[in-house]
């Protein structure tokens, strides 16, 4: 497994709705994530909208994102969530994630 850290920025005025939408992530979206190699996936949100995500990829971040790009449910989810993010130029969050370099890990 490859550990992956990602950053995005949620618009401050949309933080509460962003949190509400993640209280009940669609079951078919959760299944698609599992099927395409996203495991132990967590999102952490700072009060100013900085969003940190962590997951373990079976192969790589690129392979996990490519797998999700083939899932119809992902297109619907990305369209539904696109207005929440800053600095994506109208694009989808899965295309605009800043992938962080892992510099330390303790088992």
Task: Give the residue numbers annotated as catalytic, written as ranges.
Answer: 22
CA–CA gap between residue 90 and residue 35 (Å, rounded): 27
Q: Residue 57's beta-bridge partner residues?
A: 2, 38
Angle (CA) 44-48-53 rounded to 5° is 20
Q: Residue 7's beta-bridge partner residues?
A: 52, 98
For residue 65, which of 25, 32, 106 has the smallest C-alpha distance?
Answer: 32
């Amino acid at each position: 497994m490859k550990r992956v850290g990602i950053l995005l920025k949620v618009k401050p005025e949309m933080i509460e709705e962003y949190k509400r939408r993640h209280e009940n992530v669609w079951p078919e979206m959760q299944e698609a994530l599992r099927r395409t190699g996203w495991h132990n996936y967590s999102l952490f949100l700072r009060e100013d909208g900085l969003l940190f995500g962590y997951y373990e990829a079976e192969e790589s971040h690129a392979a996990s994102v490519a797998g999700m790009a083939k899932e119809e449910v992902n297109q619907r989810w990305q369209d539904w969530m696109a207005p929440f993010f800053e600095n994506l130029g109208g694009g989808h969050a899965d295309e605009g994630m800043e992938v962080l370099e892992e510099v330390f890990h303790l088992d």
